């Protein structure tokens, strides 16, 4: 899956000046709920209007002291509103005091207000969100119940959010509650006996759920009438992915870790015991697409259907998922032989509602006569079928469509010779002799091409009739005219 994606999109690097560290790709989240009512779990599973999810998230290892408090609110289509995800940053040392109500909201953002790096409006929005989250946690008696951990690899062209892909691997769900007479997190907001040390072998089996697949998420933003990239459609229809709409890490982990308390299960749970592997499909995703200059619009916020779809936002101002005002996409989840795949079908510009079920086959309705790469026919030109055939031959020779792998016979031979030279001895002498023999053979073949008889062109006879190829024009009827080229030509 990574190999196919690499052919089309580069890995998105958030901080190119920092050396790669596997810990930087780790994402951990602590989900809150009431262990007596499970109201947040039930609301998210049923997708009821106003259903909320509250979580605390951090990126990297346990030493990271910047924590993001996040709230996701689901909105039904009939309300005309979009589902909302909002968050604010807080230092790790203040989390317990904030969640218990011992620390006021104003004191959390006092330093941010003094620094002046954030606008007053931004800080006011954070304060309002913090008050609502704190009130909900205290009045609803919410506690940490489930942790999710995974490594995320993001694929995206820098500055271009038309196609965004993330691959979450090593997904692990862990209990954070204090039920069954065991104090896992105790009075802390997260348990401290583990870090990001996958596969968490120190945990008892009843405390951990290791997800057997990876989760692939695709987000697309396209203009009205524009279909998704062909390679994306091939990937979705391949044997690598299996559809699981509305999949949620929080719901899946909670349902598996608390089987005695949870009685309402998500629809995909029975599928986890079924072999989802399919017959292998070949020949998809191995050719790079022809570059186009079509413009697209972009997505302001991640869609609510994905429970864990946000990207790293270092300053916590919510801009990590914003670009320049593109509409959000609606999500559809897929699950695979080793990969669960989540695709986001685009909302089209100028359309209302959730266009998540749009069936786009724009490339299938191909009209050759509208292709600008095929020249317009003239009186004695080739017809449309002949022009298409000629166009394909030109592309085979070296047009815009280029193959993924070029011939490496010559370069590989030179590489072998260099490697033999490094080793030395009889191995190098044998390779050197072989190299000279090949060069001599190529020279001999070139010389034979000049010596061998070749057909000579025959002059076309003149035709004194009217029209036709080789029409004879008497010298006295010939005219020579000079034309001055327009300025700038």
Segment 89-137, tens digit of pLDDT: 999 999 999 999 999 999 999 888 888 888 999 999 999 999 999 999 9
Find the mean pLDDT for residues 196-216: 92
Residue 461 pLDDT: 55
Model confidence at 37, pLDDT cuts 50, 70, 90, reads very high
Q: Which of 59-68, 135-144, 186-195, 315-324 has the lowest mean pLDDT?
A: 315-324
pLDDT tens-digit readout, 229-288: 888 888 888 888 887 888 899 999 999 999 999 999 999 988 888 887 778 776 665 555
Residue 369 pLDDT: 40
Q: What is the pTM of this model?
A: 0.60
Find the mean pLDDT for residues 37-62: 93
Confidence check: pLDDT of 413 > 70 = no
Find the mean pLDDT for residues 77-99: 90
Query: For residues 181 and 307, which has the higher predicted lDDT (pLDDT)?
Result: 181
Q: Which of 288-292, 313-317, 353-357, 387-391 has the lowest mean pLDDT?
A: 353-357
Domain 2-363, CATH: 3.20.100.30
Confidence check: pLDDT of 384 > 60 = no
Catalytic residue set: 249
**Whole-angstrom Cα distance, residue 55 to residue 31?**
4
Find the mean pLDDT for residues 325-348: 42
**Structural domain boundaries in the chain:** 2-363, 369-398
Does residue 199 have a cis bond before it (omega within 30 degrees)?
yes
Model confidence at 374, pLDDT cuts 50, 70, 90, reads very low
Residue 314 pLDDT: 44
**Whole-angstrom Cα distance, residue 333 to residue 355?**
15
On the CB side of 223, how many CA atoms lie within 13 Å of its CA? Answer: 5
Confidence check: pLDDT of 451 > 60 = yes
Confidence check: pLDDT of 442 > 70 = yes
Residue listed under structure tokens 């959730």: 354
Query: Taking all residues of the chain, what is their mean pLDDT, rounded to a whole number?
Result: 74
Residue 266 pLDDT: 92
Model confidence at 452, pLDDT cuts 50, 70, 90, reads low
Residue 287 pLDDT: 54
């Amino acid at each position: 899956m990574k190999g196919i994606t690499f052919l089309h999109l580069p890995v998105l690097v958030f901080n190119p000046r920092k050396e790669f560290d596997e810990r930087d790709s780790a994402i951990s989240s602590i989900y809150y709920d009431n262990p007596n009512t499970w109201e947040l779990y039930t609301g998210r599973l049923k997708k009821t209007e106003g259903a909320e999810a509250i979580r605390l998230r951090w990126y990297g290892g346990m030493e990271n002291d910047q924590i993001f408090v996040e709230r996701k609110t689901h909105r039904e289509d009939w309300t005309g509103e979009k589902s909302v995800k909002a968050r604010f940053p807080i230092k790790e040392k203040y989390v317990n005091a904030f969640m218990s109500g011992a620390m006021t909201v104003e004191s959390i953002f006092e330093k941010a207000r003094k620094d002046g790096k954030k606008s007053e409006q931004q800080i006011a929005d954070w304060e309002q969100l913090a008050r609502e989250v704190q009130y909900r946690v205290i009045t609803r008696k919410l506690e940490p119940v489930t942790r999710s951990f995974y490594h995320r690899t993001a694929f995206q062209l820098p500055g271009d959010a038309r196609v965004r892909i993330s691959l979450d691997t090593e997904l692990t769900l862990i209990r954070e509650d204090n039920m069954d007479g065991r104090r896992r997190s105790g009075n802390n907001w997260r348990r401290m006996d583990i870090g990001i040390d996958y596969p968490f072998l120190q945990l008892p089996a009843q405390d951990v759920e290791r997800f057997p697949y990876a989760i692939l998420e695709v987000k697309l933003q396209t203009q009205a009438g524009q279909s998704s990239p062909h390679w994306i459609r091939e990937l979705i229809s391949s044997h690598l992915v299996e559809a699981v709409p509305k999949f949620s890490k929080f719901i899946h982990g909670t349902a598996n870790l608390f089987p005695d308390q949870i009685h309402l299960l998500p629809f995909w749970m029975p599928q986890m015991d079924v072999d989802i592997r399919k017959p292998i499909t070949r020949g998809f995703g191995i050719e790079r697409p022809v570059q186009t200059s079509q413009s697209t619009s972009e997505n302001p916020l991640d869609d609510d259907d994905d429970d864990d779809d946000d990207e790293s936002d270092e300053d916590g101002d919510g801009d990590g998922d914003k670009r320049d005002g593109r509409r959000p996409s609606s999500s559809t989840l897929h699950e695979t032989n080793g990969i669960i795949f989540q695709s986001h079908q685009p909302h089209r510009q100028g359309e209302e509602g959730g266009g998540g079920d749009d069936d786009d086959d724009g490339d299938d309705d191909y009209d050759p006569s509208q292709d600008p790469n095929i020249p317009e026919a003239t009186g004695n030109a080739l017809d449309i079928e002949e022009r298409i055939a000629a166009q394909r031959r030109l592309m085979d020779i070296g047009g815009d469509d280029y193959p993924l792998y070029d011939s490496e016979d010559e370069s590989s031979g030179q590489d072998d010779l260099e490697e033999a030279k490094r080793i030395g001895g009889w191995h190098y002498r044998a390779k050197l002799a072989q190299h000279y023999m090949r060069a001599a053979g190529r020279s001999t073949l070139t010389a034979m091409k000049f010596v061998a008889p070749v057909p000579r062109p025959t002059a076309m006879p003149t035709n004194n009739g009217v029209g036709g190829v080789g029409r004879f024009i008497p010298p006295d009827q010939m005219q020579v005219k000079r034309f001055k080229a327009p300025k700038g030509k």
